């Protein structure tokens, strides 16, 4: 590609509102442009990298028997009512109306659409298992779109869904997906860990998140120095922030009602700040500790109240003896638990100490949307671990370290949740009607692009791993007015491509300094510079990553390029 004829609008200055490296560099090197908050265009270089990432993903999905489809972003409200998510999802769901006042959704994921399709088309166990996947634009009205491509409101995802007649079959596909994800992220040059994660509001038991290690990551993970053990420890951050002051309690004379559905509403009702509200979940009553564990991803203003625990040292909660859950306080947590979490809390508390007094229904709430098999059946206390840096890894190998991670993908055993809601039945091998069981598997394609840049850059720009670079070689002609330079440039541009290299050819009439700076910023793995030794058939060869640089006779160029 001739740089004079493409669109690579590099910027000298760091854009004001870009606060992390990947965002800055992708803007500065001319890969992306922001349209408005959380929404981006991919320019030619950005689109090329996206294509490469997608190719790697497609190859690995096809290799495990995935079938690519393309489902609509525009989805009917009715499907979302069938699954219950029209009400459950809250403001993150992008909703819109057509001219007839019908409601629609811009899909944040496709469980509803894919399950309804399979429900309509597959009736027999003979057609199972099947895995469908797509690479498609998703919409989420994120509360805080930020960090460029890392958290957009419109973004590209690979989402896959598998349908099964039996749990064993789901286990197999899950394992195959897990391995495919490991291959994908390895091929993309990422330093990542597959971590045991919380299954949140979606139910199901087994789920792993794939985390690219990076200090800008929003999740904290714990991993072993010597084994594969890794877990998502969102609670670690919460604890760091809140252990210092845990005695604040909500005023007990006031009791929240089911009208307060979000944490913010609860706090407003009690006239306290959100921060105080959070602390109050970690209260201490008469020298006994109160543990609150929720598993929900419900709309609590994006604050995940997943594993909150107050103990003096971070020991396993099973070792906390005097745990007492105070009914009145618990009752005041009711609104947070719309969707069933209070019952989970009690269940966990009971499992932890056996003698917890739970006041879940103290206020007489009728808790809706409780799904016992989802919320209780699959939970084991093993799911919750409390560990600190330097502890022995739970698998006995190595010690625990903490790091920040970017969630680039997630694999998830959904079970029968959507299939039941949407009626995805089939005839099993006994001729009886049964409900399918499902897995879902996502990769943030555009987020992965940014995560790669986060891990692969230096002071001067991006340093692409070979497998994802938009071109293999950056060919520079320093002075296009000099005939011997432009002639040699044109010749090499042709020869390199004929030899199978993809080449970005800087044939612009720019100063050498501009060309070098842009080249470093753009970050292609290899650079060939045609300069004032062109007459002697000598070019300069440079490796972006190492900075290693040498003069090479044109005749030897293909030897050093390899």
Minimum gap (Å) between residue 46 Cβ and Mg ion: 23
Q: What distance lies between CA 326 and its chain's CA centroid? A: 37
When the beta carbons of 109 and 166 are compared against ligand ATP, the nearer one is 109
At residue 156's C-alpha, the angle toward residues 155 and 159, to 5°, is 125
Segment interacting with Mg ion (CB under 5 A) among 19-27, 355-363, 387-395, 402-410: 402-410
When the beta carbons of 220 and 410 are compared against Mg ion, the nearer one is 410
Closest residue to ligand ATP in the complex (CB): 444
* Binding-site partner at residue 447 among ligand ATP, Mg ion, none, CB < 5 to 8 Å by type: ligand ATP
When the beta carbons of 170 and 440 are compared against ligand ATP, the nearer one is 440
Do residues 128 and 65 make contact, with C-beta atoms less than 8 angstroms apart? no
* Binding-site partner at residue 359 among Mg ion, ligand ATP, none, CB < 5 to 8 Å by type: none
Minimum gap (Å) between residue 209 Cβ and Mg ion: 6
Q: How far apart are CA 497 and CA 499, in angstroms?
A: 5
Closest C-alpha to 247, from 296, 295, 202, 286: 286
Do residues 342 and 364 make contact, with C-beta atoms less than 8 angstroms apart? no
- Taken as a whole, the chain contains a residue count of 562
* Binding-site partner at residue 155 among ligand ATP, Mg ion, none, CB < 5 to 8 Å by type: ligand ATP
Task: Rule CB under 6 A: say whether 447 interacts with ligand ATP.
Answer: yes
Minimum gap (Å) between residue 72 Cβ and ligand ATP: 18
- In 85-220, which residue ranges form alpha helices assigned H by DSSP? 85-88, 111-121, 167-187
- In 303-340, which residue ranges form alpha helices assigned H by DSSP? 327-331
Among 152, 405, 461, 489, interactor with ligand ATP by CB under 6 A? 152
Segment interacting with ligand ATP (CB under 6 A) among 18-26, 274-282, 344-352, 439-447: 439-447
When the beta carbons of 262 and 280 are compared against Mg ion, the nearer one is 262
Segment interacting with ligand ATP (CB under 6 A) among 152-160, 170-178, 431-439, 471-479: 152-160
Task: Rule CB under 5 A: say whether 22 interacts with Mg ion.
Answer: no
Segment interacting with Mg ion (CB under 5 A) among 242-250, 282-290, 360-368, 406-414: 406-414
How many amino acids of this chain bind Mg ion (CB under 5 A)? 2
* Binding-site partner at residue 362 among ligand ATP, Mg ion, none, CB < 5 to 8 Å by type: none
Do residues 283 and 309 make contact, with C-beta atoms less than 8 angstroms apart? no
Task: Rule CB under 6 A: say whether 135 interacts with ligand ATP.
Answer: no
Taking residues 403 to 422 in sequence order and writing x for each that binds ligand ATP by CB under 6 A, - otherwise, the string is ----xxxx------------
Residues whose CB falls within 8 Å of the CB of residue 494, separated by 6 or more in sequence, listed in order? none
Task: Rule CB under 5 A: say whether 410 interacts with Mg ion.
Answer: yes
Query: CB-based burial of residue 279 (10 Å sphere; 0-12 exposed, 13-18 middle, 19+ buried)?
Result: buried
Segment interacting with Mg ion (CB under 5 A) among 253-261, 401-409, 416-424, 485-493: 401-409
Terminal C-alpha separation, the chain: 20
Q: How far apart are CA 72 and CA 28, in angstroms?
A: 33
Q: How far apart are CA 257 and CA 502, in angstroms?
A: 64
Structure tokens at 50: 């996206």
* Binding-site partner at residue 104 among Mg ion, ligand ATP, none, CB < 5 to 8 Å by type: none
When the beta carbons of 407 and 506 are compared against Mg ion, the nearer one is 407
* Binding-site partner at residue 151 among Mg ion, ligand ATP, none, CB < 5 to 8 Å by type: ligand ATP
- In 64-132, which residue ranges form alpha helices assigned H by DSSP? 77-83, 85-88, 111-121
- In 32-98, which residue ranges form alpha helices assigned H by DSSP? 44-63, 77-83, 85-88
Q: How far apart are CA 252 and CA 331, in angstroms?
A: 9
At residue 478's C-alpha, the angle toward residues 474 and 480, to 5°, is 110
The one-character DSSP state at 543 is E
**Which residue do the tokens 């939970």 mark?**
379
Minimum gap (Å) between residue 131 Cβ and Mg ion: 19
Task: Rule CB under 6 A: say whether 323 interacts with ligand ATP.
Answer: no
Task: Rule CB under 6 A: say whether 442 interacts with ligand ATP.
Answer: yes
Look at residue 400 and give its three-state secondary structure: strand
Segment interacting with ligand ATP (CB under 6 A) among 148-156, 328-336, 365-373, 455-463: 148-156
Segment interacting with ligand ATP (CB under 6 A) among 249-257, 444-452, 459-467, 532-540: 444-452
Structure tokens at 316: 């396993």
Longest dimension (CA), the chain: 90
Q: How far apart are CA 91 and CA 298, in angstroms?
A: 11
When the beta carbons of 407 and 520 are compared against ligand ATP, the nearer one is 407
Closest C-alpha to 77, from 64, 60, 94, 91: 94
List binders of ligand ATP among 274-313 (CB under 6 A): none
List binders of ligand ATP among 105-134 (CB under 6 A): 109
Minimum gap (Å) between residue 412 Cβ and Mg ion: 8
Task: Rule CB under 6 A: say whether 232 interacts with ligand ATP.
Answer: no
When the beta carbons of 409 and 523 are compared against ligand ATP, the nearer one is 409
Binding site for Mg ion (CB under 5 A): 407, 410
Binding site for ligand ATP (CB under 6 A): 109, 140, 142, 151-152, 155, 157, 407-410, 442, 444, 446-447
């Amino acid at each position: 590609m001739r740089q004079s004829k493409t669109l690579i609008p590099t910027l000298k200055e760091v854009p004001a509102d870009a606060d992390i490296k990947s965002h800055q560099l992708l803007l500065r090197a001319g890969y992306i442009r922001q349209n408005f908050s959380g929404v981006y265009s991919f320019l030619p270089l950005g689109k090329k990298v996206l294509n490469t990432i997608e190719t790697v993903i497609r190859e690995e999905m096809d290799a495990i028997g995935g079938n690519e489809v393309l489902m609509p972003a525009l989805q009917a409200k009715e499907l979302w009512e069938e699954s219950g998510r029209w009400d459950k999802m809250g403001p993150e769901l992008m909703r819109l109306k057509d001219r007839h006042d019908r409601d629609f959704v811009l899909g944040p994921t496709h469980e509803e659409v894919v399950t309804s399709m399979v429900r309509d088309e597959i009736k027999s166990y003979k057609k199972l298992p099947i895995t469908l996947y797509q690479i498609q634009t998703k919409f989420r009205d994120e509360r805080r779109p930020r960090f460029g491509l890392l958290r957009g409101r419109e973004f590209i995802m690979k989402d896959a869904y598998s349908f099964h007649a039996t749990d064993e079959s789901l286990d197999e596909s899950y394992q195959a997906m897990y391995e495919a994800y490991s291959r994908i992220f390895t091929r993309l040059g990422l330093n990542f860990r597959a971590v045991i994660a919380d299954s949140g509001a979606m139910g199901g038991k087994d789920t792993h998140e794939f985390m690219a290690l990076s200090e800008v990551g929003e999740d904290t993970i714990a991993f072993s120095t010597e084994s594969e053990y890794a877990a998502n420890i969102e609670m670690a951050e919460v604890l760091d922030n809140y252990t210092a002051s845990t005695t604040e309690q909500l005023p007990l004379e006031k009791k929240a009602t089911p009208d307060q559905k979000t944490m913010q509403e609860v706090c407003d009702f009690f006239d306290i700040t959100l921060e105080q509200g959070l602390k109050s979940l970690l209260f201490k009553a008469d020298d006994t500790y109160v543990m609150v564990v929720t598993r929900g991803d419900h709309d609590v203003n994006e604050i995940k109240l997943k594993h909150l625990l107050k103990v003096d040292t971070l020991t396993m909660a099973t070792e906390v003896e005097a745990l007492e859950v105070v009914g009145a306080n618990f009752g005041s947590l009711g609104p947070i638990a719309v969707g069933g979490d209070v019952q989970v809390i009690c269940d966990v508390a009971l499992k932890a100490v056996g003698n917890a007094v739970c006041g879940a229904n103290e206020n007489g709430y009728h808790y809706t949307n409780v799904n016992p098999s989802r919320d209780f059946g699959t939970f084991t206390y093993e799911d919750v671990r409390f560990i600190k840096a330097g502890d022995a890894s739970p698998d006995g190998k190595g010690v625990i370290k903490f790091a920040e991670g970017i969630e680039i993908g997630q694999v998830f055993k959904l079970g029968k949740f959507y299939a039941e809601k949407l009626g995805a039945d089939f005839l099993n091998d006994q001729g009886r009607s049964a409900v399918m069981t499902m897995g879902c598997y996502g990769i943030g394609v555009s987020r992965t692009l940014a995560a790669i840049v986060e891990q692969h850059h230096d002071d001067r720009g991006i340093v692409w791993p070979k497998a994802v670079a938009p071109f293999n070689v950056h060919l520079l002609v320093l002075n296009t007015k000099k005939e011997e330079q432009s002639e040699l440039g044109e010749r090499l541009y042709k020869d390199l491509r004929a030899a199978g290299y993809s080449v970005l050819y800087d044939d612009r009439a720019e100063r050498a300094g501009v060309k070098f700076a842009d080249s470093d910023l753009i970050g292609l793995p290899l650079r060939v510079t045609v300069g004032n030794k062109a007459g002697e058939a000598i070019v300069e060869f440079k490796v972006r990553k190492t900075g290693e640089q040498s003069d090479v006779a044109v005749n030897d160029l293909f030897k050093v390029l390899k």
